[in-house]
Every structure is written in structure tokens, then in C-alpha cells.
Amino acid sequence: MSITTTATTASNDAPRLLRTLCNHWRHKFEITRDDEEGHAFIPFQGEDNGADFFVEDDTLRIVLTQPTAEDSERYQTVIENHLQRFARDETLAFDWQPG
């Protein structure tokens, strides 16, 4: 059974964060994206787990689905580190919640 966690982070430019992250990850994951939503397919043990991203006004909502709590925590950190790097001068805050 997969683990799903969700976080929302405020940003001065959430669409740019989504675009930059998806473009950066294209070399590693299968990515689908438009201006308001994105999905990164993160295959694990034959399953299509992944991360969904939704631009909602001045926030980016992230829904992460992974097979185990360990994998979920690892990818939460990966997502946070990448988005913070792309955020330039702003500090992003993430509060991951179940579901």
C-alpha cells in the first residue's frame, strides 16, 4: 500500500518553480506539465509512484505518493531541496501532512 503525503508552500512565483523543477527532472523521470499542474512519474519496484504539483494562486501544492514511509521521507527532502534551490531569494516552508 502506498503512502501519500501533501505539502503546500507559498512562493512569489509558483508557476516558475513548477516549470523549473519539471524541466530539471526531465532527464531522470517521465514528466507531464502545463502552466498550472505537473506530474513526475517516479517508478519504484514496478509501480508508478510519483509527485503531483498544483499551482494555486501564490502557492505550490505537492502530493507525493511512494511505496514506503522511508521513500516518502526521502523524496520529500529531495523535493524541498530542489524547490528551495530554484526559489532564489525566498525561503520556502513545507509542512508535510498525511493524505
Q: What integer pLDDT is reported at residue 77 of this predicted model?
A: 95
Q: Rounded to whole angstroms, what are the CA distances from 78 to 51, 53, 57, 59, 75?
A: 11, 14, 24, 19, 5
* Architecture of the domain made up of 3-88: 2-Layer Sandwich (3.30)
| Owner of C-alpha cell 512519474 | 41
Phi, psi of 89 (to 5 degrees): -90, 0
pLDDT tens for residues 20-75? 999 998 888 888 888 888 888 776 655 658 889 999 999 999 999 888 888 889 88
Domain spans in the chain, listed from the N-terminal domain onward: 3-88
C-alpha cell at 83: 524547490
